[in-house]
Amino acid sequence: MAKQKAIGSWAWVVGGAGLLIGAVAAWLVSQGNPGNMGLCIACFWRDTMGFFGGATFNMGGVAYIRPEIVGLILGATVAAVAGREFRPRGGSSTALRFVLGFIFMVAALIFLGCTVRAWLRLGGGDLNALWGVAGIVAGVGIGSVLLKGGFNLGRAKRLPAPVGIIGPIIAGVLLVLAILAVVGLKPAFFTETPKGAKSTAEKAVISADGEVLKPEGAKMVDGAIVSSDGAVISSKESVAAAKPMPGASRAPFVISILAGLGLGVVAQRSRFCSIGGIRDVILVQRYELLFGVIGLVIGVLVVNMLLGQFKLGFEGQPGAHTDALGNLASMTVAGLAAVLLGGCPFRQVIMTGEGDADALSAVAGMGAGALFAHGLGTVSTAAGLAPAAWAVLAVMAVVLVGIAAWKRESLVAAVSGSGGQ
């Protein structure tokens, strides 16, 4: 019997897809997206939730429907329909997938990026990402042990066609809302961070043209922000050092939506997954999907260097903190949650476009996790981890262990029961 190849021809397809995704992500940064965050599923889905969460969930600075996310879903739908792979399915522990998506998002926002952005940050020279990557490998390793031990969320079932189009319909609604915001017709009860807005260390907000947006009634006087009663809120030096707000940094709408659509097609056809490659190497010594990650890093690294965006080091990296242990722990939790889900958040978004209701549940859980993290203040900043981050990580780790034990027991019980009949 011939020995199966560890690297098949498909590896080059996935590797090419990863190369393109990384290159486009770096290019989107040059077009206005946040540094080392050209295409972060966790951050971009968080920003999209900010459009709805607004000030209620402390998301005024991260409120913007990211067209890239919308494009990924709709592009995947087009590719799946064209390739006759649009298959409405679900019922594989759907509620638990919501919980796993929730945990993934909360952990990712402690790291400040998803399992895709960890590699993008590394390709931009951010050495803090090394701890995140180590955490991903650790989380995937633990998850692989659990998979070998019998963990299984169950088999998905064929569902009626209307269920499969829920995800694409939601993406369509988001697209309409995004377009309304672009043309200035956004309903007042939604929130959008003004493009180009900056925030001072004292949380004062300045528009791209220098107008003081927050606090209300404050104005600019000789380069400083002064309240209506004459008190200085932010000094001239603080104003000069003001940093762009995450939701205010974005590429032009048309560029973003087209990039998302194109990458949605590429990711659907190639089966790109930032977690699956590591998992497959550990479990079955297959390397095809790992080529996707390798291609991703090469693509983002080369384009960053060509565009002068590469900055090697730990300090002063965009959208990052230097808490090594926090980066390691948060990505370990995120990596484990992704393995138990069966794929990274990028893959969950793509499968949502393919009609997978279980993936949609995971994406919904990620959205809820973003609202939770910002509402309770567990999101990290450039200064470091939030005070409650460690407690939240510990609770989520316990929950993941509980889920792993529960689903393994369910599987064992089902097998034992069928064997005794």
Q: Count of CB atoms within 10 A of residue 200's CB? A: 22
**pTM (global) more than 0.85:** yes
The pLDDT value recorded for residue 229 is: 86
Q: What per-residue confidence (pLDDT) applies to 230?
A: 86
Strands 224-226 and 157-158: unpaired
Q: Residue 225 pairs with which residues in a beta bridge?
A: 220, 234
Q: Give the integer Cα–Cα distance in Å for 227 and 83.
A: 59
Nearest partner of 200 among 185, 186, 215, judged by Cα: 215
User: What's phi and psi for 227, nearest 5 deg?
Assistant: -75, 170
- Judged by DSSP in three states, 6 sits in coil
Whole-number Å distance between alpha carbons of 275 and 346: 9
pLDDT at 148: 93
The alpha carbon of residue 348 and the mean position of all alpha carbons in its chain are separated, in whole angstroms, by 10
Residue 279: HSE in the Cβ half-sphere, 13 Å Cα cutoff: 24
Angle in degrees, 0-180, between the axes of helices 253-270 and 10-30, rounded to the nearest 10? 170
Token reading at 68 = 């890239």
Tokens standing for residue 36:
């080392």
d(CA 369, CA 132): 19
Query: Which 8-state DSSP code applies to residue 126?
Result: B
Return per-residue pLDDT of the chain as tens, 421 residues: 445 556 778 899 999 999 999 999 999 999 999 999 999 999 999 999 999 999 899 999 999 999 999 999 999 999 999 999 999 999 999 999 999 999 999 999 999 999 999 999 999 999 999 999 999 999 999 999 999 999 999 999 999 999 999 999 999 999 999 999 999 999 999 999 999 999 998 889 999 988 999 988 899 998 999 998 889 999 999 999 899 999 999 999 999 999 999 999 999 999 999 999 999 999 988 899 999 999 999 999 999 999 999 999 999 999 999 999 999 999 999 999 999 999 999 999 999 999 999 999 999 999 999 999 999 999 999 999 999 999 999 999 999 999 999 988 554 444 434 343 3
Q: DSSP letter for 60, please.
A: G
pLDDT, tens only, 102-143: 999 999 999 999 999 999 999 999 999 999 999 999 999 999
Residue range 143-175, pLDDT digits in tens: 999 999 999 999 999 999 999 999 999 999 999
The amino acid present at 62, given as its one-letter code, is: V
In whole angstroms, how large is the CA radius of gyration of the chain? 22
Give me the pLDDT at residue 421, please.
Answer: 35
